[in-house]
Amino acid sequence: MAQQQHAPARFIIPHLPTDTTMHHPATHATTAAQPPDSVQHCEVLIIGGGPAGATLANLLGRKGRNVVMLEKAHHPRFHIGESLLPANGKLFDELGVRGEIDAIGMPKLGVEFVSPDHEHCSYIEFADAWDKTMPRAWQVRRSEFDEILFRHARLQGARCIEGARARNVAFDATGADVDVDHDDGRSERWRARYVVDATGRDTLLANQFKCKRKHPKHSSAALYGHFVGARRLEGSREGNISIFWFKHGWFWFIPLADGATSIGAVCWPYYLKSRDKPLVEFFRDTIALCPALAERLNGATLIDDQVHATGNYAYTADHCAGDRYVMLGDAYAFIDPVFSSGVMLAMKSAFAAVDLVEATLDAPARAPAARRAYDKVLQHGPREFSWFIFRVTNPTMRDFFMSPANPMRVKEALLSMLAGDIYGSTPIWRSLRLLKALYYLVSLQNMGRTWRAWKARRVNIRDVEALSS
């Protein structure tokens, strides 16, 4: 290839921090970037050491690639999202970490649904899904789980660096320069042929490219904490996740193996905007709005009186890959966590990205087709989960979950979707289409209720930030 006469165009935009307090981030003055202390080189630079980044580092490392993974924190570090899916199991097997996950995880055999409009609780088991070979999942401390994947990537040959925050990414025709600040005060520049954004909800590249969008059909925020002494289900159901609906959204109840229980409220943003008291008090008042959950927490203790809040819960980027980069998992899109799909979708995106990375590095002519294939994988998961997520608070869908029936195997298909079995050959799609048709039919038969629910949802998902600006 003839050498260019002019330096290739470069795009350098500072990384914007994600707002995790549900307020607009403060405007910070910018200063001129300092020259790096050193310049390092690698083939693939993965920014972010969570499940998505660590999975890809594992897969590329075992192939002998010169891969470097940067993590801004130090493992173990706190992270929410403790409930996994049965479909994660096959991914653990391919990585060779299932035994370690079994050792730290609480067995999760299914889901309990609790509705204020029904006198009974509904229990569904993964063993009743279409594919009977995935009967269980796990509840995990993410600090332990993420560290297992991170350390395993090092064993596979990846260079794994903690306490390193990527600040700028500058692309050109042959790769990218990435400025990195270390928590010991050092700065350096990494020159990589390919950049992977696995920064999760920090969404490094989506912010840099200004292509991050609030999801137009969903809007939610969350507050959460951990309790000891919560009353769990009994027997084999002890590790099951419980979903409690209430007026302003839904709660999760996730039992962990160390005796703690993760409790979180996913709410419409207008409700969290109404807070006029300290967060811990507001959280307790929110729990009181759900008597069934409050009874399960009677006598339980909030660990360290600590409650977290986060907003901007549903978003997507305009694209997921470019000539020299790819976005994994939450760095591209995040959907409501009601079905615990986040870790599975993140890891699956990493598996799908391997071919794209290698095509770009080794066979550039094949890269456009590889990008299209990758985009198809990333669109598939959120799309299939989101149809149900957008309707999970609708009374018709709530009835389906509270009294599931199995005509034409629709219940088995729904359970397979909830288990994350959406990428393989399990023939669930005809039955899922029938289930959706039944949903629309029942909704039409109850038009008054459907109309009221539709109007309420329009109000609930309104952009409260735009209204208040």
Q: Give the count of beta carbons closer than 10 Å to the beta carbon of residue 99.
A: 9
Q: What is the CATH number of the domain that holds 378?
A: 3.50.50.60
Is 14 within the bounds of a domain?
no
Is 16 within the bounds of a domain?
no
Q: What is the CATH number of the domain that holds 270?
A: 3.30.9.100
d(CA 154, CA 316): 30
Strands 110-114 and 106-108: unpaired
Is 27 within the bounds of a domain?
no
**Where residue 34 falls among pLDDT bands split at 50, 70, 90?**
low
pLDDT at residue 312 greater than cutoff 70: no
- Averaged over 41-46, what is the pLDDT? 98
**What's the mean per-residue pLDDT of the chain?**
90
d(CA 61, CA 53): 12
427 & 348 share domain: no
pTM to 2 decimal places: 0.90
Question: Which of these, 316, 313, 328, lies nearest to 264 by C-alpha position?
Answer: 313
113 & 134 share domain: yes
Domain count, the chain: 3
**Where residue 221 falls among pLDDT bands split at 50, 70, 90?**
confident
pLDDT at residue 355 greater than cutoff 60: yes
Task: Tokens 């008291």: give the residue.
Answer: 277
d(CA 168, CA 191): 12
pLDDT at residue 6 greater than cutoff 80: no
Q: pLDDT, tens digit, for every residue of 90-145?
A: 999 999 999 999 999 999 999 999 999 999 999 999 999 999 999 999 999 999 99
| 331, 352, 383 - which closes a domain | 383
65 & 149 share domain: yes
Compute φ and ψ for 446, nearest 5 degrees. -120, 55
d(CA 10, CA 183): 27
- Averaged over 408-422, what is the pLDDT? 97
252 & 349 share domain: no
Q: Give the count of beta carbons closer than 10 Å to the beta carbon of residue 260.
A: 18
**What confidence score (pLDDT) does residue 464 get?**
55
293 & 357 share domain: no
Q: pLDDT, tens digit, for every residue of 172-182?
A: 999 999 999 99
71 & 53 share domain: yes
203 & 114 share domain: no
| 293, 310, 327 - which closes a domain | 310
Which residues, 6 or more positions from 243, have their beta carbon under 8 angstroms from its beta carbon? Answer: 111, 112, 113, 114, 250, 251, 252, 253, 338
**Where residue 258 falls among pLDDT bands split at 50, 70, 90?**
very high
Contact criterion met (CB below 8 Å) for 395 and 453: yes
114 & 125 share domain: yes
pLDDT at residue 242 greater than cutoff 50: yes
d(CA 200, CA 195): 15
209 & 231 share domain: no
221 & 347 share domain: no
**What's the gap between Cα 353 and its chain centre?**
17
Task: Tokens 């395993």: give the residue.
Answer: 152
- Residue range of the domain that includes 97: 88-138+216-310
